Structure 1
């Protein structure tokens, strides 16, 4: 799956998320695709998904958190 397809899937998940669950869904999607997007910058992520640049910090946090969660046994393929 390429970067563009990932952004489309993230946008679809966000569009389908209940209004009060948008940020939770965004974090979940960031965790889910962290490995596939490990070589892009936070700014590129925000541009690709169509988010304000301020969400770049969240992307960086989730990418770092993913490494720790996977070390503890998380399988991101199941998200």
Structure 2
């Protein structure tokens, strides 16, 4: 799946998320696509999804966290 398709999927998931679940959904989407977006900078991610640049820190955190979650048994393909 190419980056533009991933960004569109993330935008849709965020648009469909209940208002009080927006941040949780954003984190989940970041984890879900972390492997496919490994070479993307946090700035590029935010621009691609249409998020404020300040969310770049969250993207970096989730990308770092995903390796630990996978070692604990998380299958990101099931998200």
Counterpart in 1 of 2:10? 10
Moved over 3 A (4+): none
3-state SS, counterpart of residue 34 of structure 2:
coil
Q: Which runs of 5+ in 2 are unaligned?
A: none
Aligned-pair distance for 1:42?
0.3
**TM-score normalized by structure 1?**
0.99
After superposition, the C-alpha distances for 1:22-57 in whole angstroms (9 at most, x for unaligned) are: 000000000000000000100000000000100000
Aligned-pair distance for 1:76?
0.2
Counterpart in 2 of 1:58? 58
**TM-score normalized by structure 2?**
0.99
Q: Please tell me the root mean square deviation across aligned C-alpha atoms, in Å.
A: 0.3
Find the aligned partners of 1:51 and 1:14 in 2 and give their Cα distance.
10
Aligned-pair distance for 1:69?
0.3
Q: Give the count of matched residue pairs.
A: 79
Counterpart in 2 of 1:26? 26
